[in-house]
A and B are shown apart, each in its own frame.
Chain A
Amino acid sequence: MSHRTYFSNNKLAALLIAPQLLLIFVFFYWPASQAIYWAFTTQPPFGGGNEWVGLQNFKELFNDKVYWSSVFISIKFGFYSTSLSMILSFIMALCVDRQLSGYRLYRFAFFLPYAIAAPAVGLAFRFIFAPDAGFVSAINQYFPGLWNPAMNGSDALVLIVIANSWKMAAYNFIFMLAALQSIPRSVIEAAAMDGASFLRRSWDIQLPFLTPTFFFLLVINITESFVDSFGIVDITTGGGPARATDLMVYKIYTDGFKGLDYSMAAAQSILLMIVVISLTFVQFRFVERRVHYR
């Protein structure tokens, strides 16, 4: 605990922090508590106050096959896109870290996808992977009907996984590169003197240094895949075909805004919130501790 010098004017301090507190109260805590309230009540169809129904909404959800299907799809999506983007970004970071000629260009280029909006990413990939335009469907000329994300659920899932990984790889890349570059060069040189080749060093020396970052990114990626995926899904598949890409966050949107079923949307939101909070909690508990104690 380092000694800090303070100013004594606490009234000023209150004044300074008030705007932010006000904002987060109105736009974060109140909506969050509203969501909790709605999740435990139902709205009568013809107006009037909400009725407390306890866990009924949740029970309904747990019995709903469609809901579980969307949970399952979200998990699949999260798993695949996280794995793909982590592996890609790790390779990117390793290669760029070698600082061969031109590495600055690569570093610059690998990072760009992050700046692109999710729907733009979605639209671009939708084009490339479209069943009747773009590039991938060229395969259909040789193997007719092989690739059709409009009809085939798994193809659609592949499409959004690739789109999401593309964007997330850029984000992960930056963190992995930073982590790699924070490894003291002397340690790597010592390993080289001991006779370790590049691949050996990557496995034995660099990977362990990266573990905190890996873990951190893992959690961030999974969280993002639950949450940020909305933009991509809405633009590419709209949750289809036949709900094959109906991720949890997308379902909340369709149920709440298109279906106007606020209670169910709220209940789903709560569950999603719990998932996200647990993941973030896990990250801060386990990752931060390890990062600090290095």
Chain B
Amino acid sequence: MIERTPYLNILTHTVLIGLLIFSIFPIIIVFIASTHDLPTVSRVPMTLWPGNNLIENYSHVWNKSGFGPKMLNSLIVASLVTAGKIMISAITAFSVVYFNYRLRFFCFWLIFITLMLPLEVRIVPTYAVAADVLEPFRTILGWGGIVLKIPELNILNSYSGLVFPLVATATGTFLYRQFFLTIPDELTEAAKMDGAGALRFFWDVLLPLSRTNMAALSTIMFVYAWNQYLWPLLITTDPAYATATMQLQKIVPGPAFGQPPVWNEAMAATLMVMVPPLIVVILMQGAFVRGLIATEK
């Protein structure tokens, strides 16, 4: 709509620029701070021009904290979570939408309820389970009077431990379900007339049509998994399995504010942790936004 409102436009632009600065400022600061040496960074207020110590800071942090392997771990975990989520959610949603069995709605609600309680709220007992994954089964069999010698399965300090609890929520399933519900019945009927069975239909028709959906879900899951902080912190004590995001805690020495961090290095580390999800989001912007809205609704 075209309206001649020059004052309002100027106001809008001003507000927009203000908010733009608000949004971008911290990111830029992190970058700039990471390019200075310690004295420059500690000056208050810090200068807004980038410095020359970029490479020095990054390589220092990289080596001192062993960032390399940790970034790799983050990458592996995020990729595994994303891949796992995409596959499991797809087949679960397929089961719930395209079959008609008595427990269908019950199972769906079971899965749906997991949306209500994020990991942080049940952190302690989930940790206990990760320490001994088969314990539930042992206990339940125990109630039935069966005492089987099921061995302890410890997934602390492992990729399984990092990945499985994150794959155990309903986000993806919900998204796929909403999408599957929009696929016209007639398409399924045509496939049936053509002789396709359930799996054939899933592979040949449903999955190819879900491509945008999958792109959106991948982005959301990748960012979510990469940004995980509390869970990796708890479950890995072995540095070989540490992730980049949790490493930020180590960058901050001692009790909070007891001793200030080495700011330029801290900012360098922060930037390294920030960049990969940002890149993924930037690349997948369109699909991500569409998917996010579909998930929540």
Bind each other: yes
> Quick check: which of A50-58, A59-67, A68-76, A93-101 contacts chain B, the rest being far away?
A93-101
Is B41 part of the contact surface with A, judged by Cβ < 8 Å?
yes
Could you tell me the distance in whole angstroms from the C-beta of B232 to the nearest C-beta in chain A? 11
Docked-complex contact A10 and B99, CB < 8 angstroms:
yes
Contacts of B178 in A (CB 8 A): none
Is B251 part of the contact surface with A, judged by Cβ < 8 Å?
yes
Is B199 part of the contact surface with A, judged by Cβ < 8 Å?
yes
Is A215 part of the contact surface with B, judged by Cβ < 8 Å?
no
Docked-complex contact A19 and B88, CB < 8 angstroms:
yes
Docked-complex contact A96 and B274, CB < 8 angstroms:
no
Docked-complex contact B266 and A249, CB < 8 angstroms:
no
Is A3 part of the contact surface with B, judged by Cβ < 8 Å?
yes
Docked-complex contact A117 and B227, CB < 8 angstroms:
yes
Docked-complex contact A9 and B197, CB < 8 angstroms:
yes
Contacts of B192 in A (CB 8 A): 5
Encode B229-240 as 1/0 by CB contact (under 8 A) with A.
110001000000
Chain A residues in the interface with B (C-beta under 8 A): 2-7, 9-10, 12-14, 16-17, 19-21, 23-32, 34-35, 38, 88, 91-92, 95-96, 98, 100, 102, 105-106, 108-121, 123-125, 127-128, 130-135, 137-138, 140-141, 149-150, 166, 169-170, 174-175, 178, 185, 188-189, 192, 197-198, 216, 220, 227-228, 230-231, 234-241, 249, 252-253, 256-257, 262, 265-266, 269, 272-273, 276-277, 280-281, 291
Docked-complex contact B289 and A20, CB < 8 angstroms:
no
Given contacts A174-B293, A192-B1, contact A135 B249 (CB under 8 A): no
Docked-complex contact A240 and B91, CB < 8 angstroms:
no
Question: Contact check: which of A95, A117, A241, A266 meets B257 at CB < 8 Å?
Answer: A241
Question: Contact check: which of A124, A133, A188, A197 meets B41 at CB < 8 Å?
Answer: A133
Chain B residues in the interface with A (C-beta under 8 A): 1, 3, 5, 8-9, 12-13, 15-16, 19-20, 22-24, 26-27, 29-30, 33, 41-42, 44-46, 88-89, 91-92, 94-101, 104, 107, 110-111, 114-118, 120-129, 133, 136, 164-165, 167-170, 173, 185, 188-189, 192, 197-199, 201, 223, 226-230, 234, 245-246, 248-249, 251-252, 255-257, 260-261, 263, 266-267, 270, 273-274, 277-278, 280-282, 285, 289, 292-293, 296-297
- Interface Cβ pair total, 8 Å cutoff: 319
| Additional A-B contact list (4), CB under 8 Å, known A102-B16, A106-B19, A257-B234 | A23-B164, A106-B16, A112-B24, A118-B229
Query: In the bound complex, how far is the Cα of B2 from the Cα of A123, in angstroms?
Result: 44
Query: In the bound complex, how far is the Cα of B234 from the Cα of A189, in angstroms?
Result: 55
Contacts of A133 in B (CB 8 A): 41-42, 44, 46, 260, 263
Given contacts A7-B99, A27-B168, A134-B44, contact A127 B257 (CB under 8 A): no
Given contacts A21-B110, A88-B19, A133-B41, contact A262 B263 (CB under 8 A): no
Docked-complex contact A112 and B260, CB < 8 angstroms:
no
Docked-complex contact A124 and B29, CB < 8 angstroms:
yes
Contacts of B188 in A (CB 8 A): 5
Contacts of A20 in B (CB 8 A): 88-89, 91-92, 111, 168, 173
Chain A interface secondary structure, helix, strand, loop or mixed?
Answer: helix
Question: Contact check: which of B89, B101, B263, B274 meets A116 at CB < 8 Å?
Answer: B274
Docked-complex contact A4 and B296, CB < 8 angstroms:
no
Query: In the bound complex, how far is the Cα of B60 from the Cα of A6, in angstroms?
Result: 60
Query: In the bound complex, how far is the Cα of B157 from the Cα of A171, in angstroms?
Result: 32
Query: In the bound complex, how far is the Cα of B107 from the Cα of A143, in angstroms?
Result: 61
Given contacts A27-B129, A133-B41, contact A95 B12 (CB under 8 A): yes
Residue of A nearest to B191 (CB): A5
Docked-complex contact B129 and A262, CB < 8 angstroms:
no
Contacts of A235 in B (CB 8 A): 248-249, 252
Could you tell me the distance in whole angstroms from the C-beta of A92 to the nearest C-beta in chain B? 5
Query: In the bound complex, how far is the Cα of B258 from the Cα of A150, in angstroms?
Result: 8
Contacts of B117 in A (CB 8 A): 28, 32, 273, 276-277
Query: In the bound complex, how far is the Cα of B120 from the Cα of A272, in angstroms?
Result: 10
Could you tell me the distance in whole angstroms from the C-beta of B126 to the nearest C-beta in chain A? 4
Question: Contact check: which of A13, A98, A265 meets B99 at CB < 8 Å?
Answer: A13
Question: Contact check: which of A28, A132, A234, A256 meets B249 at CB < 8 Å?
Answer: A234
Contacts of B88 in A (CB 8 A): 19-20, 23
Docked-complex contact A32 and B125, CB < 8 angstroms:
yes
Contacts of B248 in A (CB 8 A): 117, 119-120, 123, 235
Could you jot down 23 A-B contacts, CB within 8 Å? A24-B114, A24-B169, A26-B168, A27-B165, A100-B16, A105-B20, A106-B19, A115-B223, A115-B277, A116-B274, A117-B228, A134-B45, A135-B44, A137-B44, A170-B23, A220-B296, A238-B257, A257-B127, A265-B124, A269-B121, A269-B125, A276-B118, A276-B121
